[in-house]
Structure 1
Amino acid sequence: MEQLKGKVAVVTGGNSGIGYATAKELKAQGAEVIITGRRKEALEAAAAALGVTSLVADQGKVADIEALAAAVKQQYGRVDILFINAGVLGGAAIETVTEAEYDHVMNINTKGAFFTLSRFVPLLSEGSSVVFLSSNTATMNKANSAVYSTSKAALNKIMKIAAAELAPRKIRVNAVSPGPTETEILNKMGLGDEKLKELKQWIVSNVPLATMGRAQDVAKMVAHLSGEASAFVTGSEFIMDGGMHL
């Protein structure tokens, strides 16, 4: 069903993983979708496969975000759905984290997400939906995750304050916090096949539902939060981790 027909949607980091799955779902529900990413070739390949528009932008650079907002304004004039999805992993013990590692994670996950919202606020139509991709780690306290978890916890606070600020325009702002999800990001960790298998087994052993999440499930939640069925929902975080946070 085309529940989002006529809506203009922007998905940052839309060339793979949860971003790709969400762009696919939003398009299936009738939205006009624009995906962004840093890697031009990968982004264009994803856009061609999905049948959507692509615009190159690095969420870690405010100048790129501003250029992206200007391009969307010129081509579409407004945004009805903004999924701020782009992000990076990063984890180490507090005593070993370098300034460069800290800045890399925070610049993309927190600062970049903040300024993406900031620069798109003027383009958001009345009654539009903003969804942040957070993480279940934002409310967990695992060793070696201080930087990443902090970046997502800060994102959740930004989400709640944005929900309060934008409520007068009927703009809803929420966050989806997945747990371990089957995406290419695990394969990019540089582990061998056996080590990757062991990692996935360890992850699943910590999930009460005994499985990893699927990108398409997160995509359906984002689409739900973008439609009329969630018209009275704002300032909320939706944890999707199979009970891992319990």
Structure 2
Amino acid sequence: MGKLDGRVVVVTGAARGQGEQEARLFRQEGASVVVADVLDDRGRALAEEIGALYVRLDVGEEEQWRAAVRRAKEAYGRIDGLVANAGILRFNSLVDTPLDEFMRIVRVNQVGCFLGIKTIAPEMEDGGTIVTTASCTGLTGMAAVGAYAATKHAVLGLTRVAALELAARGIRVNAICPGAIDTAMSNPAQLDPAADAEGVTRALDGLYRKLVPLGRIGRPEEVARLALFLTSEDSSYITGQPFVIDGGWLAGVAVG
């Protein structure tokens, strides 16, 4: 028996990275998965490979959320879970960040999460689950990612409010707060077929060996296992909480 047998889960940003690994793992655990993304070719290929439904979803567009919900319910009859994974990152100092860049990040990371909760929660079965994707920068500051950090702080606020408002229906809402994870967001070489993505991963492990107590960058499969925990009955008495998965980065200052 899989941990998600009989459940229908929508995963946004599912064509690659953390979202892809979440979609794969959820299917392995018995869920019917809706792969939602704007990367049509990759998303359709993944959905075909794992036996899922692909829907095109720009998370900043409310009507596209409504259409995705309709497609999911037409295909599977119900929705039991959402993993709001889609997000973007840009590096810039606050004073050098153009307003349009700031608002693009807000639109995807913050508005996308808000619209996901707003649109799916009313259609979700009682006892459902919502997993938002925040960041360790939603719990602390980090230079050069001010817009990103601001949206991830906002995601935590949305998560807590949604947990309170949806608790009467048994819907649990929790947030994943990853540190540095080896996806295209931190390793752009993964987007270039000619690049040595594995070599970059090894270099990143070397970099984070000095920054992270566990001595390496995180893997998207590890984040997917946390998403599974928060979507399954293993976390049946947990709601409104941030779960940091960062190799110990935020634990404190190491001496020596």
TM above 0.5: yes
Q: Does 1:19 align with 2:22?
A: no
After TM superposition, give the deviation of residue 229 of structure 1 in Å. Answer: 1.5
After TM superposition, give the deviation of residue 187 of structure 1 in Å. Answer: 3.4
After TM superposition, give the deviation of residue 38 of structure 1 in Å. Answer: 0.3
Q: Matched residues in 1 for 2:187 and 2:142: separation?
A: 22
Task: Name the amino acid aligned to 1:123.
Answer: E
Task: Name the amino acid aligned to 2:246.
Answer: D
Partner of 1:183: helix, strand, or coil? coil
Q: Matched residues in 2 for 1:217 and 1:187: separation?
A: 16
- Give the equivalent residue in structure 1 for 2:240: 235
Q: Matched residues in 1 for 2:14 and 2:77: separation?
A: 20
Task: Name the amino acid aligned to 2:126.
Answer: E
Alignment of 1:1-246 (within 5 A): 1-188=1-188, 201-246=206-251
1:145-182 deviation line (CA, Å, top 9, x unaligned)? 21001110100000000000000000000011111111
Partner of 1:245: helix, strand, or coil? coil
Partner of 1:10: helix, strand, or coil? strand
Partner of 2:49: helix, strand, or coil? helix
Partner of 2:128: helix, strand, or coil? strand
After TM superposition, give the deviation of residue 17 of structure 1 in Å. Answer: 0.7
With normalisation by structure 2, the TM-score equals 0.90
With normalisation by structure 1, the TM-score equals 0.93
Contact 2:204-2:217 at 8 Å conserved across structures: no
Q: Matched residues in 1 for 2:208 and 2:105: separation?
A: 22
Contact 1:174-1:236 at 8 Å conserved across structures: yes
Distance 1:169 1:88, change over 3 A: same
- Give the equivalent residue in structure 1 for 2:254: none
After TM superposition, give the deviation of residue 184 of structure 1 in Å. Answer: 2.6
Structure 2 unpaired stretches of 5+: 252-256
Q: Matched residues in 1 for 2:148 and 2:94: separation?
A: 11
After TM superposition, give the deviation of residue 243 of structure 1 in Å. Answer: 0.7
% same residue: 31
After TM superposition, give the deviation of residue 116 of structure 1 in Å. Answer: 1.1
Contact 1:180-1:213 at 8 Å conserved across structures: yes
Task: Name the amino acid aligned to 1:187.
Answer: N
What RMSD over aligned residues (CA atoms) do the two structures have, in Å? 2.0
Partner of 2:111: helix, strand, or coil? helix
Q: Matched residues in 2 for 1:197 and 1:93: separation?
A: 27
1:204-233 deviation line (CA, Å, top 9, x unaligned)? 321111011111111111111111121110
Partner of 1:104: helix, strand, or coil? helix
Q: Matched residues in 1 for 2:238 and 2:200: separation?
A: 41
Contact 2:91-2:145 at 8 Å conserved across structures: yes
Contact 2:205-2:215 at 8 Å conserved across structures: no
Partner of 1:33: helix, strand, or coil? strand
After TM superposition, give the deviation of residue 200 of structure 1 in Å. Answer: 5.1
Partner of 1:213: helix, strand, or coil? coil
Equivalent residue pairs, number: 246
